[in-house]
Chains A and B, each alone.
Chain A
Amino acid sequence: MGDASKVLSMREAVSRFVRDGDTVVIEGFTHLICFAAGHEIIRQGRRNLTLARLTPDLIYDQLIAAGCARKLVFSWAGNPGVGSLHAFRRAVEGKEASALEIEEYSHFGMVARFSAGAARLPFWPLRNYSGTDLPRANPRIKAVLCPYTGETLAAVPALNPDVAIVHAQRADAAGNAQMWGLVGVQKEAAFASARVIVVVEELVDESVIRSDPNRTVIPGMIVSAVVVEPWGAHPSYAQGYYDRDNDFYVAWEAISRDTAKVGRYLDEFVYGVPDRAAYLAKQPQLAARLKAKERRSSGVNYGF
């Protein structure tokens, strides 16, 4: 593995590795969703992106509202625990020709697509979708005959994004990234992608990674850039660092209903700040409200 540091600023990383027209995946199931990267993509004015994610969440609602997206590939487009993503809904409801193309699966289908992509297989078989209308809505969900048992299974095509952006608790300068708590589908999404940007709460020495190798989810060999961005997942969360900002998720319901309010939000918290540090400086109360309590793991003996 190369010794060269891959550490870049968010601005440099997005500028170099996220291009107009790319298929972009910012993964993370509720946990470790990299809002800092999404905001930088908006600031840099990327266009015609195909955004893929199981749960588009607020960050893709914001990217859609900002005009960055041409297409959304997803399996559950809501505001978790709250309700709707209204920018998304406005783009698809009651339209003759929707401004936003959609390609829809279930969670298992999306997970299977990343698994196939990561393994460089053309598709992934799964026992699913019989009796549902999903294959009718999405003809890319197909049936395949098992060559061994003769049974009919569902198949979904591999998803190989141009770039995956994964937030993690810590990584070394080469991009060996460790995460704990809910790990979602980040490993598969990263291995499936041509380029990987790892964004971390803390940059650590390689010796810290080597002291606990089972916790490494993304190896540096597949990583293009490492960005150090404390609180970069807010209003999502980072286990052991800060809690989810559930109040903001609730507030997004009212903001996202109204295009003028969305515009004001983006003006103030995205376009109006140069970077994540400035975003945080506007909200000095976050740490007091959301900083994680101590619940340490005891660690294990890796000796032999």
Chain B
Amino acid sequence: MTATAGSVCLEVRDATRSFGGLVAVNAVSFQVARHSVTAVIGPNGAGKTTLFNLISGAVPPSSGRVLFEGTDVTHEAPEAKAARGLIRTFQLVKLFPELSAVENVKVGFHLRSRGGLLAALLRPRAIRDMEAAIEDRARALLHLVGLGSAADLPAAALSYGQGRLLEVARALAAQPKLLMLDEPAAGLNGDETARLASLIRDIAEDGTAVLLIEHDMHLVMNTADEVVVVDFGRKIAQGAPDRIRQDPAVIAAYLG
């Protein structure tokens, strides 16, 4: 444990990633507190998704460190980070298209359930009970994100916005300590966005830290406790939403 443990869930220290000569993320540092919603905003191409990939382990950083609950996880694989409770969604939705919505969510319970080949073949009572519990909780999660009536539809039949909500439900199934959402409101209509905003607040109040990348300023201003602004790979501002709205550097970046 380092000095940063305690109320800090995630700490990014000087995270840098260059692709050839292009520095996509340049010495970005920030912290995500427990029980809070932190939003990363910035113009297109600012390096937000690369930053997300550095944190989730999809892309290794060129330099800098990522600490999760006080442990250095910089070079861990995505599945190892997921096992620690760091769960992400994707900007381009990655569903399991052949499976139904509820089956998609059930895959999300992987880390929160047990059993391998023997459990599958012999199906002892404990495993049957676990399967029944997973089924109930998966349907409850779909209901929570507003997809209760679409539970048995194949994922491929869902609209773009529904697919995004399904990805959130699937991520929640893994019971994350830190939930990372990459543009969750993209493709959502007004009602769906409002529902998502209140869901994100509920998730944070339950003790799950939320880190989101978002273009929808309305959603960011309504949900975020802290906003990190990046432009050309650098962090140019950080603070509460109200303060960020008036920050001259942010206004310059957005309005050119």
Are these two chains actual partners, yes or no?
no
Give chain B's interface residues, CB within 8 Å of chain A: none
Give chain A's interface residues, CB within 8 Å of chain B: none
